[in-house]
Amino acid sequence: MSTPNQYVLAADNSPSLLPLLRSNPSLASAQDAHGYSLLHAAASYGHLDLLRSLVREFHVDINLTDEDGDTCLFVAETVELARCLVEELGIDKTLKNDEGLTAEEAISSDGSFPDVAAYLRGTPVSTIGDSVTRPGPSLPPNVTVNFGTMTESAANGNDMPDPEFKRRIDELASRENFHSEENQRELRDLVTAAIRGVNAETQQKDVRRRLD
């Protein structure tokens, strides 16, 4: 009887794969004619536990590359998987493939998984349950955002944000050099002006209430 194809078993996350590898450990690090490995298969299909087993139990080199010089990080499609590879298994995210691209650069150029590219770039990514929200631009120093319940007037649409303020924020956030000192200063000035405007309006409302 022929030996089952370990790459197909890895893609399916078959329960028969690990027993097969334990009976023939050399298969764990094997690569096909194109350099495709079980690491690449596990990463492609998002099998985190299999990746952990390959590295921790079978001591497969996490930085194994295929014929294009791609590690399994190049095929990561979720932040969870990329985080596992980088933070748990210690993959080198600075390695470049035969085209001179890191995993982050390759994924960014493809444009399919912007959250993964953002994570590899070092941009904070928030997770809620199993879902992942796209990272937004970080706030400048000394600027914080507090989340709370919505007031009744806001819920009824009486306290809608100033459209011009929102437009300017969106325009700033879309700039490629958003984190430059000049843009950060402009954002601080914009937020400060908005806060002053809100405070002034609140004071006017308080005055009207006292007069009434």
Helix spans in 13-111 (H): 17-23, 38-44, 48-56, 79-83, 103-110
For residues 112 and 94, what is the distance between their CA atoms, to the nearest angstrom? Answer: 20
Same-domain status, 112 and 191: no
More confident call, 70 vs 152: 70
* Residue position matching structure tokens 């929200």: 133
Same-domain status, 178 and 152: yes
Same-domain status, 114 and 39: yes
Same-domain status, 24 and 109: yes
Same-domain status, 147 and 184: yes
135, 152, 174: which is the final residue of a domain? 135
Same-domain status, 77 and 173: no
The four Cα atoms 54, 57, 61, 66 give a dihedral, to 10 degrees, of -20
Give per-residue pLDDT as tens, 142-169: 555 554 545 454 445 455 556 776 777 7
Q: Identify the pLDDT of residue 15.
A: 95
Same-domain status, 66 and 1: yes
Give per-residue pLDDT as tens, 163-200: 776 777 777 677 666 666 776 777 777 777 766 665 55
Total count of domains within the chain: 2
Q: Identify the pLDDT of residue 164.
A: 73
- Residue 127 contacts by C-beta under 8 Å, 6 or more apart in sequence? 79, 80, 133
Same-domain status, 125 and 31: yes
Same-domain status, 91 and 157: no
Range(s) of the domain holding residue 143: 137-212
Same-domain status, 185 and 175: yes
Same-domain status, 108 and 42: yes
Q: Identify the pLDDT of residue 134.
A: 45
Global pTM value:
0.59
Q: Identify the pLDDT of residue 132.
A: 43
Maximum Cα–Cα distance for the chain, whole Å?
93
Same-domain status, 97 and 190: no
Q: Identify the pLDDT of residue 59.
A: 97
CATH number for the domain that contains residue 46:
1.25.40.20
Give per-residue pLDDT as tens, 79-129: 999 999 999 999 999 999 999 999 999 999 989 899 999 999 987 655 433
Q: Identify the pLDDT of residue 189.
A: 76
For residues 174 and 41, what is the distance between their CA atoms, to the nearest angstrom? Answer: 36
Q: How far is CA 206 from CA 38, 179, 199, 201, in A?
A: 67, 38, 10, 9
Average per-residue pLDDT for the chain: 79
